[in-house]
Structure 1
Amino acid sequence: MTTTAPTPTTSAPPRRSFAWRGLFLRLHFYAGVLVGPFILVAALTGVLYALTPQLESWVYSDQLRVPVSSQQLPLAKQVDAALATSPEGTLVAVRPAPEPGDTTRVLFSEKGLGESERRAVFVDPGTGRVTGDLVVYGSSGSLPLRMTLSQLHRNLMLGEPGRIYSELAASWLWVVALGGLVLWITRARNSKRIRTHGLLGVWVLVGALFLSATGLTWSAYAGENVATLRKALDWTTPSLKVPTGGGDHSEHGEHSSTGTSYGDVDTVLWAARSSGIDAKPLEIGLPAESGGAWKVAEIGRGWPTQVDSVAIQDGAVVSSVNFADYPLAAKLTRWGIDAHMGVLFGWVNQLVLLLLGGGLVALVVLGYRMWWKRRPTRGFGRPTPRGQWRKAPRGALIGLGLGALLVGWFVPLLGISLVVFLVVDAVLGRRAKAA
């Protein structure tokens, strides 16, 4: 009795829309394994930084808060009180108390301080009592705790070499996030199964892209390219023209250690308020030399953003820059940076960053858990075989390669680390084949 051999069955060819899936899976998997630690550290330190406004208010309450007084001393008298403590350095600026119960900050430049650091002497505006002095950092006036957490997030307290870690995290975060989105979409179409890792990745996708883009704007290498591009497209932030010299102010009051008068500080503040500088938090910068112009700048980073500034000379406004006149790209940059720092929308902004940072931490932990459970030593074999690029259409593959070259040039650490990964992977592949 003869039997008819069964007709061999062939599986349907993969749909063209899924031809890239293996390549994306391999890239997402290995990028996650290699860059995951950097993203994890950046997320954890970012969460800590987002909590600093409340932490600062608690830790430095003695310096920041005083009993509310019905009357305030003139700013010049408050500067006198700060100078009476004989601080080292040069008087450079004054930040009047923004709210009742807050202290005034009298700022000094000082030898031995780092870049963008100044010494702040805190003065009770009602009594002139000095409540302490601390080193502050940057235009935000960060106190030591926030400054430490900022440097931890930025460079792990390792200086410029440490910035490589945060730039690597920002450079790869958008790649991992978009690759994960492709995998989630294709998995949902094929199997109708949505894993916790993938679903969580979709929820934090927009935030991850935002953190990646804003983080790269002030990174060491990609940040330079971003600045060059903004300048070429005229997207830079307008700068205030502050005249120097041109007058003798010796009759207006006492002077700082550079000979610059600070006795006019109250008159300058009145002139600035009259010209439309109405934000409560502001900084009054003393002239760089006798007879030069004062700079009064709003430093409100919340919503609505208040960062107008004016230059005042001989009691009159000689130049000004208004946020309303910024180019749209400059406004978006300002808002992006402030939202990244958690100050744009107050506690709501902080809450979003806490949830986003927690989501990124969970994604990294879940990703490593998935890898650990399916690691090759448990008999699952290589999770994604080499050669996935051969399955993609050639024309599209060429376009992808050109795009990778362009992005790798604009984001150097992404390009360099991608080349290193490809070289190492090729070497390991040759060894495996030879074995």
Structure 2
Amino acid sequence: MTTTAAPSRTSFAWRGLFLRLHFYAGVLVGPFILIAALTGVLYALTPQLESWIYSDQLRVPATAQQLPLSKQVDAALATSPQGSLVAVRPAPEPGATTRVLFSEKGLGESERRAVFVDPGTGRVTGDLVVYGSSGVLPLRTTLDHLHRNLMLGEPGRLYSELAASWLGVVALGGLVLWVSRARKSKRIRAHGLIGVWVLAGALFLSATGLTWSAYAGENVAMLRTAVGWSTPTLKMSGAGEGHGDHGPDISPSPSTGGPGEIDEVFGAARGAGLDAKGIEISLPAEAGSAWKVAEIEKGLPSQGDAVAVQGGNVVGELRFDDFPLGAKLTRWGIDAHMGMLFGWPNQVVLLLIGCGLIASVVLGYRMWWKRRPTSGFGRPTPRGQWRKAPRGAVIGLGAGALVAGWFAPLLGISLLAFLVVDVLLGRRTEKAAS
């Protein structure tokens, strides 16, 4: 007859240690993860909704002929916008409008005012404030700020950094507990099963989310620089970079920086191989400087080439194919986090992961409520489990926690706070019992 060996004292100690950590993190950080998941789900649903809500600004009857881009810009300037012309995004496809972008006092960081122009007739269809390099519209901007910082500015970013820092830790701790329980029990709880199914997605969202964080984000940038993963930048003057070296025979004349030059600039960029539907043409920072033209497609295959144009000549080029692998992975990771890399399938995956995280957090609180000391069911794992685990393993785990805490400071600070609270509660209980 086959018998099942009882779990060793060491394995019980390890399980108890992970159980207490998972419990503290789940109860105290769970609300932050829940809010991040809810707002992330809403954000993933917005692209199609935006196309419907802002259809008057975005869509026009398709025409066989289009006005020169400079005439479209003139139409936008005729509306007497309050700000300064900074960039133009030509209509990406028939039936879409051209965006003429202006900087404006009073707008937030990374915000610009877009005047939408019918490329066939020059009719202005409206204006909206757009945000970020993706040019998202007001609805998605609101959800982005809600997801990123609860619309509280820089102080609110601490919430999202705390959620991103702990999401991976909670997910991995839950995996350890699920595996250890599965070995000795055939009963699988929905909380653990859902957590296992969304584990890979949770780790991905945690890692990519930290790139936007206030403190861990600085360490991510420093690490990328140290290993050569930084995103290269386009040289805006001189003979160019990479394929942009056209030799000594070209002496570009100074750019005027005026809207009338934009047709020539656009043509030069197309001639240099920038064939993406989405293009942004940025005006020179000052008269005589080069224009920047960049592909802004976020899907696959990636189109992220950029050129500098001066006097009708391409004087600098930056090709996405020449990016270091790490820079490409970073770009793809961020785009996938935002639901842009694979189109609607990317949105569906994010929706499933987000709903899974929401369900896991809610079921986790349900488990805690049913097992709380006053409920009469079960008992909490006793403190001091780390004393029963192998000393070498505890030291290694502690060293890992220190490194993780240095890299993600909010993780380290909150973990230390958990441990201090646990010790203080333990001492109070001991005093009450004595």
When residues 13 and 289 of structure 1 are mapped into structure 2, their CA distance, relative to the original with a 3 A threshold, is: closer
Q: Return the offset for 1:325.
A: 0.7
Match of 2:288 in 1: 291
Map 1:68-79 onto structure 2 (within 5 A). 68-79=62-73
- Is residue 198 of structure 2 the alignment partner of residue 204 of structure 1? yes
Separation of aligned partners in 2, 1:249 and 1:202: 57
Query: How far does residue 15 in structure 1 lie from its aligned partner after superposition?
Result: 6.4
Look up the SS of the partner of 2:88 in the other structure.
strand
Give 1:264's aligned residue: 261
- Cα RMSD (Å) of the superposition? 1.4
| Aligned counterparts of 2:339 and 2:164: Cα–Cα separation in 1 | 17
Matched, 1:241 2:235: yes
1:150 aligns with 2:150: no
Asked if residue 162 in structure 1 is aligned to residue 156 in structure 2, the reply is yes
8 Å CA contact 2:113–2:128 kept in 1: the answer is: yes
1:61 aligns with 2:55: yes
Match runs of 1:6-405 below 5 Å = 12=6, 14=8, 16-243=10-237, 247-249=253-255, 260-380=257-377, 382-405=379-402
Contact 2:370 2:377 in 1 (8 A): no
Match of 2:246 in 1: none
Aligned with 2:398: secondary structure?
A: helix
**Residues 150-186 of structure 1: CA distance to partner in whole angstroms, max 9, x if unpaired?**
0000000001000111111100000110011111111
Question: Corresponding residue for 2:248?
Answer: none
Letter in 1 for 2:224: R
Residues paired across the two proteins, number:
415
Structure 1 residues 13 and 280, CA, compared in 2 at 3 Å: closer, same or farther?
closer
Q: Work out the CA distance in 2 between the residues paired with 1:214 and 1:102.
A: 32
Tell me by how many angstroms 1:193 deviates: 2.3
* Runs ≥4 residues deviating over 3 A: 15-19, 246-250
* Separation in structure 1 between the aligned mates of residue 142 and residue 110 of structure 2, nearest angstrom: 14
Distance 1:415 1:67, change over 3 A: same
Distance 2:388 2:17 in 1: 8
Deviation at 1:32, TM superposition (A): 0.5
**Aligned amino acid, residue 348 of structure 1:** P
Residue 264 of structure 1 aligns to a residue whose secondary structure is: helix
- What SS is found at the alignment partner of 1:131? strand
How many Å apart are 1:380 and its aligned residue? Answer: 3.4
Contact kept, 8 Å, 1:286 with 1:295, in 2: the verdict is: yes
**Whole-angstrom distance in 1 between the partners of 2:84 and 2:299:** 30
* Aligned-partner SS, 2:293: strand
The answer to whether the 8 A contact 1:281-1:300 is kept is yes
Give the secondary-structure state (helix, strand or coil) at the position aligned to 1:101: coil
Larger radius of gyration: 1
Contact preservation (8 Å) 1:405, 1:415: yes
Partner of 2:410: 413
Q: Which stretch has the larger CA shift, 108-117 or 352-361?
A: 108-117
Q: Give deviations 1:15-39, integer Å, cap 9, x for gaps.
A: 6555411111111111111111000
- Normalising by structure 1, we get a TM-score of 0.93
Q: Equivalents in 1 of 2:17, 2:362: separation in Å?
A: 23
Give, in angstroms, the shift of residue 382 of structure 1: 4.1
Q: Secondary structure at the match of 1:108?
A: strand
1:247 and 1:290 in contact (8 A); partners too = no
- Give 1:197 shift: 1.2
CA distance in 2, matches of 1:52, 1:399: 44
Identify unmatched segments of 5+ residues in structure 2.
239-251
